[in-house]
Amino acid sequence: MPCHGDNPERIVHIEDRKFRYADFCQQCGKLQSRYSVLKFASIGQSVLGKPIWCVRIGKGSRQVHVNAAVHANEWITAALLLRFLEDYAAALEDEDPKSGQTTTRRQAEAWYSDYTLWAVPMVNPDGVDLSQNGADHCGPYRSRLLEWNGQSPDFTRWKANIRGVDLNDQFPAFWEVERERRGIGGPSPQDYSGPAPLSEPEASALAVLTRGVPFEHVVSLHSQGKEIYWNYRDLEPAEAESMAARLAAAGRYRAVKLEGSDAGYKDWFIQEFRRPGFTVEVGEGVNPLPPEDFEEIYLDVHAILAEALSL
């Protein structure tokens, strides 16, 4: 039975409490055939060869990037970002607004003319599947994954990619410092930085995209805590703090100045480009967040991303 808040007209949804790569691709296919404003392209492949999809929308000169599901057990963020894209496209192309439609046509038209949004909803597809399906379908990695997971078949808390590398510790921004701080010497469910910066194809694909497009600012969706991180070693531009305050106010989240963390995507973006980068920790609870929370969290995410396209 569909739970309260589900809308049968909606393409993007969580079914049977799961949102795996196959679900994501199937819903992307439906979005692609329904909405011509959504442009799909692969930016690379995961370790197991899954295309990593980027969805572009808009014709504005201001380039903005949003990514999600960098961490495996935060897969709800992939569905949240894809829903945002659906609502945005529906506001532009559907004749009648759907019930529960959050984006207005006027809002969508303004975003569309001012911005080009590049969204990568599922950065870590192998990890997303591992955390939901377990290791049985991971071919040659199965026995190693069980070993790295302490012989437990329960991968629901897994954050890393399929090689046990934490993709948000992979970026070349004081990577060695982060590695020392974490003190994890090899593949692990979380916090292993990998053998070298950008050693993993998922992190590398994100870096290549980011170097190839002049993004004004970037947003990385994680879970959980209802917090927004906006600074990095005093390298962020002056406006980052007030922008974070606006994003936080929109979602009723807290803007938090963070110390003692390196090698994340937003850290690297701020260091490399000296432009604003934000990590948004959506929802509250224990990862993976329960699918029942999806519609409620979506309202926060919608408000925050709407603000990110109005900064």
In whole angstroms, the minimum distance from the beta carbon of 223 to Zn ion comes to 7
Closest CA to 66 of 300, 265, 267: 265
Active-site pick, 227, 281, 295, 296: 281
Pick the piece of the chain touching Zn ion (CB under 5 A) from 63-71, 84-92, 139-147, 173-181: 63-71
Told to check if 266 binds Zn ion by CB under 5 A, we report no
Is 281 annotated in the active site?
A: yes
Q: Which is nearer to Zn ion, 41 or 286 (CB)?
A: 286
Helix locations, 69-174, DSSP H: 76-93, 105-114, 125-133, 142-148
Nearer to Zn ion, 74 or 300 (CB): 74
Q: Which amino acid is at 75?
A: W
Closest CA to 126 of 47, 29, 70: 47
Q: How far apart are the C-alpha atoms of 292 and 288, rounded to whole Å? A: 11
Q: Which stretch binds Zn ion (CB under 5 A): 22-30, 50-58, 216-224, 296-304?
A: 216-224
The residue at minimum Cβ distance from Zn ion is 222
Strands 39-45 and 51-57: antiparallel
Residue 293 per-residue DSSP state: G
308/162 Cα distance (integer angstroms): 31
In the bound complex, what is the minimum distance in angstroms from residue 80's beta carbon to Zn ion?
A: 13
Residue 100 — left, alpha, or beta (φ > 0 → left; ψ -120 to 50 → alpha)?
Answer: left
Q: Shortest gap between Cβ of 67 and Zn ion (angstroms)?
A: 11
Q: How many residues bind Zn ion (CB under 5 A)?
A: 3
- Nearest residue (CB) to Zn ion, 210 versus 279: 279
User: CA 54, 60, 64, 69 torsion: positive or negative?
Assistant: negative
| CB of 102 or CB of 193, closer to Zn ion | 193
Choosing from 13, 50, 71, 302, the residue that interacts with Zn ion (CB under 5 A) is 71
Residue 168 CB, shortest distance to Zn ion, in Å, is 6
Nearest distance from residue 191's CB to Zn ion, in Å? 11
Q: Specify the 3-state DSSP secondary structure of 105.
A: helix
Measured from the CB atom, is 73 or 102 closer to Zn ion? 73
Positions in 72-91 near Zn ion (CB under 5 A)? 74
Instruction: Based on the shown chain and the rule CB under 5 A, indicate whether residue 226 belongs to the binding site for Zn ion.
Output: no
Instruction: Kindly tell me which of 86 and 166 has the beta carbon lying closer to Zn ion.
Output: 166
222 forms part of the interface with Zn ion (CB under 5 A): yes
List phi, psi (to 5°) of 278. -130, 140
Is 97 in contact with 91 (CB distance < 8 Å)? yes
Closest by Cα among 6, 15, 1 to 295: 6
> Which residue carries 């948000």 as its tokens?
168
CA of 120: how far to CAs of 23, 114, 125, in Å? 15, 20, 11
Q: How far is the CB of 217 from Zn ion (least distance, A)?
A: 19
As annotated, the active-site residues are 281
> Footprint of Zn ion on this chain (CB under 5 A)?
71, 74, 222
